[in-house]
A and B are shown apart, each in its own frame.
Chain A
Amino acid sequence: MQIPSDNVPYPIFVYVGLLFWQFFSGALLETSNVFIIDRGIITKIYFPRIILPISSVIIKCVDFAIASVILLGMMIYYGYTPHLTGILIMPVLLAITFIAAVGGGLFFATLNVKYRDVRYVLSFFIQLLLFLTPVIYPTSITAKYSFILVLNPLVGVIQNARAGLLGTAPINLSLVAISFFTSLVFLFISLIYFRKFEQYFADII
């Protein structure tokens, strides 16, 4: 069965989605463990604990940068030159993914302090999320469920990345705004949860 890919060669189509997905899922998985791994300094020194998950996601940005170089190679190989708007929108999309990753990572990291098996459950959860994100398929085939899928900030990010870099469709700014909004909501919820439990970390860890 051939999965439709919006008239774009399938490899590069998937890779644009994979770029952001790898960043997000890798950051989520890595950050969920961040308070347990550094339990030493958390119990002995006072510092704002929020630094740990943020630095964990920033490390994944380096991976993103390296993966982008590969994307550049692929675009040259397949002969795609993006418009200026396509290039300009990339940092915006990266910022949205960053916010979503910090929000999700912070939430699971805090949950992991109380329930230590969260990071194992998370790997399965991420597998599930992969199928809910248009990495291996285009958003066009999910038109029926689009109003739910849009809650996933990565949907807007990946669709617009493809639109900007590969020209599969015009850039949908309202979708970008929705993704930005949902990732901010996730971050906000995670921050509230984190703030509530942060003070007891030293006792439970």
Chain B
Amino acid sequence: MNIENSIIIKNIGKKYNIAYQLGGYVALREVFANIFLNPFKFVKYKVKKIINLETKEEFWALRNINLEINKGDIVGIIGASGAGKSTLLKILTGITPPTEGEVILHGKVASLLEVGTGFHPEFTGRENIFLNGVILGMTKKEIINKFDKIIEFAGIDKFIDTPVKYYSSGMYVRLAFSVAVNMEPDILLIDEVLAVGDVEFKKKCLDKLEEVAKKEGRTILFVSHNIEIIQKLCKKTILMKSGKILLYGNTEEVINHYLEQNNEGFINDTNKTQ
């Protein structure tokens, strides 16, 4: 197994505390007021916290995730909403730390977690290419070298000098994707962003992703709800449910399993109504 450019995930878990007691907006003034009005309650709460007796509602978004992904693989991730796919990508990017376990990434990571992040609405497309490229980790020289390729791939030559606040969501995706794909990262993480593109652009992206993975040997992790795209692009797929990995293997197998699972429920329901 080629160690270079692979992703190794060891026993990752991610826990969220559902802080229902404090509500969404915590104000410092309220905290101080509570200390003065109910000093005993505050002391009890603090002591409980220290001894760890506090009643917390915990939610494990991910638990016991173990994965090894080889260099040059295109791996799809599918699963129901709330299965933890985006959380996994966020942990891989480094935006949020895992509660337990560790992740080892060999190589530079670029991620597309949302369309047009890092785009400044007042800047033109041209200026945003620089902005986005730098945020994703390219040097200015690199961007200048790739500039023409990026504009060509995005296919929005006429509008490259208008501020991006006037772009449609499709144009956003084209530009964002174009910058990320031309970045030459070793590992590319994509989270459901192709939903907005049109058929022609989706095809262009898929072709480019295939080329990037096969010819240049980069690893791609692709989260999507679109079964067709996963079938076309990914040789291996991961099926996730409720924060755990159900299956990791051949795309055909995993997709059949996924569809069977969902159809089972469907058929049972229709039987009941009859």
Chain A contact surface mostly: helix
Chain A residues within an 8 Å CB radius of B206? none
Chain B residues within an 8 Å CB radius of A118? 28
B170 adjacent to chain A (CB < 8 Å)? no
Q: Which of A47, A115, A200, A202 contacts B135 (CB 8 A)?
A: A47
With A44-B113, A44-B114, A47-B135 in contact, is A116–B25 under 8 Å at CB? Answer: yes
A83 adjacent to chain B (CB < 8 Å)? no
Name B96-117 residues within 8 Å CB distance of A. Answer: 96-97, 109, 111, 113-114, 117
- Please tell me if the beta carbons of B117 and A199 are within 8 angstroms of each other in the complex: no
Q: How far is the CB of A59 from chain B (nearest CB, A)?
A: 15
Interface segment out of the listed B64-72, B87-95, B264-272: B87-95
Chain A residues within an 8 Å CB radius of B117? 40-41, 44-45
- Please tell me if the beta carbons of B28 and A115 are within 8 angstroms of each other in the complex: yes
B29 adjacent to chain A (CB < 8 Å)? yes
Q: Which residue of B lies closest to A121 (CB)?
A: B28
Q: How far is the CB of A117 from chain B (nearest CB, A)?
A: 4
Q: How far is the CB of B16 from chain A (nearest CB, A)?
A: 7
B26 adjacent to chain A (CB < 8 Å)? yes
- Please tell me if the beta carbons of B26 and A116 are within 8 angstroms of each other in the complex: yes
Q: How far is the CB of A156 from chain B (nearest CB, A)?
A: 30
Interface residue count for B (Cβ, 8 Å)?
A: 21
With A202-B90, A203-B16 in contact, is A45–B95 under 8 Å at CB? Answer: yes
Chain B residues within an 8 Å CB radius of A199? 96-97
Name A182-205 residues within 8 Å CB distance of B. Answer: 199-200, 202-203
Chain B residues within an 8 Å CB radius of A41? 117-118, 135
CA distance A47 to B118 in the complex (A): 11
Q: How far is the CB of A165 from chain B (nearest CB, A)?
A: 39
Interface string of B231-252 (1 = CB under 8 A from A): 0000000000000000000000
CA distance A180 to B123 in the complex (A): 39
- Please tell me if the beta carbons of B95 and A43 are within 8 angstroms of each other in the complex: yes
Q: Which of A46, A47, A115 contacts B27 (CB 8 A)?
A: A115
- Please tell me if the beta carbons of B118 and A45 are within 8 angstroms of each other in the complex: yes
CA distance A42 to B97 in the complex (A): 13
Chain A residues within an 8 Å CB radius of B27? 115-117
- Please tell me if the beta carbons of B114 and A115 are within 8 angstroms of each other in the complex: no
B144 adjacent to chain A (CB < 8 Å)? no
CA distance A114 to B25 in the complex (A): 9
- Please tell me if the beta carbons of B95 and A114 are within 8 angstroms of each other in the complex: no
B31 adjacent to chain A (CB < 8 Å)? yes
Interface string of A30-44 (1 = CB under 8 A from B): 000000000011111
Interface string of A111-153 (1 = CB under 8 A from B): 1001111100100000000000000000000000000000000
With A202-B90, A203-B16 in contact, is A44–B26 under 8 Å at CB? Answer: no
Q: How far is the CB of B109 from chain A (nearest CB, A)?
A: 8
CA distance A9 to B31 in the complex (A): 46
CA distance A25 to B42 in the complex (A): 33
Name B27-54 residues within 8 Å CB distance of A. Answer: 27-29, 31
Interface residues of chain A, those whose CB is within 8 Å of chain B, are 40-47, 111, 114-118, 121, 199-200, 202-203
Interface residues of chain B, those whose CB is within 8 Å of chain A, are 16, 25-29, 31, 90, 93-97, 109, 111, 113-114, 117-118, 135-136
Can you list 5 contacts pairing A with B, beta carbon distance less than 8 Å?
A45-B93, A45-B136, A46-B94, A116-B26, A203-B96
Please name 7 further chain A to chain B contacts, defined as beta carbons within 8 Å, in addition to the given A115-B26, A199-B96, sorted by A numbering: A44-B113, A46-B109, A115-B28, A116-B25, A117-B27, A117-B28, A200-B96
